[in-house]
Amino acid sequence: MKNKNILKIATTIIFIFSIILSNLIPAANNVNYVRLPTKLISEYPNTDKINQKGPVVWENGMNFDGLSAAQWDEPGEFDAFCADDFNFEEDTLILDINWIGGYYVQGEPATAEFNWCISFFLDDGTGNSPLGTPYLPSYEGPLCYEWDKIVAEEIESGYYKMSVIIPGGINFSGGEKYWIAIWGEGVYPPQSGWGYHIEPVKLHMGVFGSNYWETPFWTDTQDAFEETMDFCYQLKTEGDPIPDLDCNGTLSWFDVKRNTTVKGNFSIGNTGEPGSLLNWTISSCPNWGNWTFKPPNGTQPLGWISVEVTVISPQDKKENFTGEIIVENVEDPLDFCIIDVTLLTPKEKENNYFTNLLYRLFEQFPFLKLVFDL
């Protein structure tokens, strides 16, 4: 009997200990992370905050449908983290990151000046989840930036396009899959958020994790929010930024006499990446008339330029003249735009003088009809 009582007591102690232990050790699918002190990046190669002028090598889409909670609350009351995946075909150096971020309070737009942090992760091997947590990432980070070191452009109430430089850059191996997390650090309210879109989804959908909301790291956004989200960001590398040619306007002239000078204008724009230079030229114009363009070519940074057009109308009797002016990106012939042209001359008036003269002669001298066999 004594041995049985000892066994019961021992069993009870083990049971109680297992309950206590289960409460101390978090479940594997809801990992608690250690928030390590972060080091702010405060020294930049460009003190004027001009970002790395390189091309985008991963485009996850900057169109946004909303903001998903992405914040560490400084007093530690709550946390919210999102992550999204990317890969490269070959080894790639990343020097610059662009993303859509913003602030809201109970769904309404807000303003703030939080610090923002970025971490990079290896894939956990499933293709569906990052390996690690925001403050213990498996690849690089967290990289944290003070607000005045972030290039931030408000594009809509509560929404910002944000950009930062990674001093020295980070190398990523071709053929491997990686994940990125971006979040704000500040006191609620407001809530900071990472811009997301429903479509398109590249690779796997974005994922979410939060100890405060008891959402395991990392949960598909479809399961966390009942919405398939992909997040808004771009990764840029070294090299020259890529320009993009655009045109605006048409040329139309009406009731223009022959051999007459008329003028007009249209606009040429570079709508490409920040820091890009567009080398453009007018490659063709209509084969009628005498055309002059000021300027006929040029190098355009981001923005627009007006081109003044002068044309001397043709002497042909043709009344309607149409055609196209083609503007071309000198470094990329497939990047071109077209300006439509129309020039109308006055309609030729019928010459009735001779006809009226004959009619009067025939009235006075009827025999002339016989002569002309009329």
Q: What is the pLDDT of residue 354?
A: 56
Look up the domain containing 192 and give its range.
33-236
Token pair, residue 106, equals 């109970």
Token pair, residue 273, equals 């990446």
Does the pTM exceed 0.75?
Answer: no
Q: Are 283 and 277 in contact (CB under 8 A)?
A: no
| Inside any domain, residue 137 | yes
For 91, how many CA atoms within 13 A lie in the half-sphere containing its CB? 3
Q: Is 213 helix (H, G, I), strand (E, B) or coil?
A: coil
* 204 and 164 housed in the same domain: yes
Q: Are 123 and 18 in contact (CB under 8 A)?
A: no
Q: Are 362 and 368 in contact (CB under 8 A)?
A: yes
pLDDT tens string 258-309: 899 999 999 999 998 777 899 999 999 999 999 999 999 999 998 999 999 9
Which residue from 57, 33, 59 is spatially nearest to 230, judged by alpha carbons?
A: 59
| Inside any domain, residue 214 | yes
pLDDT tens string 121-139: 999 999 999 999 999 999 9
* 260 and 125 housed in the same domain: no
185 φ/ψ angles, rounded to the nearest 5 degrees: -125, 110
For 97, how many CA atoms within 13 A lie in the half-sphere containing its CB? 25
Q: Could you give the CA distance from residue 137 to residue 218 in angstroms, rounded to a whole number? A: 13
The domain boundary, picked from 179, 212, 236, lies at 236
- pLDDT tier at 316, thresholds 50, 70, 90: confident
* 149 and 56 housed in the same domain: yes
Q: 218-238 as b/e, with b when 16 or more CB fall inside 10 Å?
A: bbbbeebbeebbbbbbbbbbe
* 62 and 83 housed in the same domain: yes
| Inside any domain, residue 201 | yes
Q: Could you give the CA distance from residue 257 to residue 75 in angstroms, rounded to a whole number? A: 78
If DSSP states are collapsed to H, E and C, what string results for 119-177? EEEEECCCCCCECEECCEECCEEEEEECHHHCEEEEEECCEEEEEEEEEEEEEECCCCE
Q: Per the structure, how many domains does the chain have?
A: 2
User: Is the model's pLDDT at 50 over the cut of 50?
Assistant: no
* 171 and 88 housed in the same domain: yes
Q: Could you give the CA distance from residue 157 to residue 135 in angstroms, rounded to a whole number? A: 30
* 180 and 251 housed in the same domain: no
Q: What is the pLDDT of residue 241?
A: 78
Which residue from 122, 142, 139, 119 is spatially nearest to 130, judged by alpha carbons?
A: 122
Q: Which of 34-43, 236-245, 307-316, 318-327 has the lowest mean pLDDT?
A: 34-43
- DSSP letter assigned to residue 304: E
Q: Could you give the CA distance from residue 56 to residue 84 in angstroms, rounded to a whole number? A: 17
Q: Could you give the CA distance from residue 329 to residue 334 in angstroms, rounded to a whole number? A: 8
> Can you give the C-alpha Rg of the chain in angstroms?
35
Q: Are 193 and 164 in contact (CB under 8 A)?
A: no
Of 358 and 303, more confident: 303
* 214 and 188 housed in the same domain: yes
The domain boundary, picked from 213, 236, 259, lies at 236
* 139 and 280 housed in the same domain: no
Q: Are 270 and 276 in contact (CB under 8 A)?
A: yes
* 189 and 91 housed in the same domain: yes
CATH assignment of the domain containing 281: 2.60.40.2310
Q: What is the pLDDT of residue 275?
A: 75
* 216 and 276 housed in the same domain: no
| Inside any domain, residue 339 | yes
| Inside any domain, residue 218 | yes
* 141 and 184 housed in the same domain: yes
* 197 and 262 housed in the same domain: no
Q: Which of 79-93, 172-186, 222-236, 350-364 has the lowest mean pLDDT?
A: 350-364
- DSSP letter assigned to residue 318: -
| Inside any domain, residue 50 | yes
Q: How many helices (H) and strands (E) does the chain have?
A: 4, 28
Q: Could you give the CA distance from residue 336 to residue 272 in angstroms, rounded to a whole number? A: 13
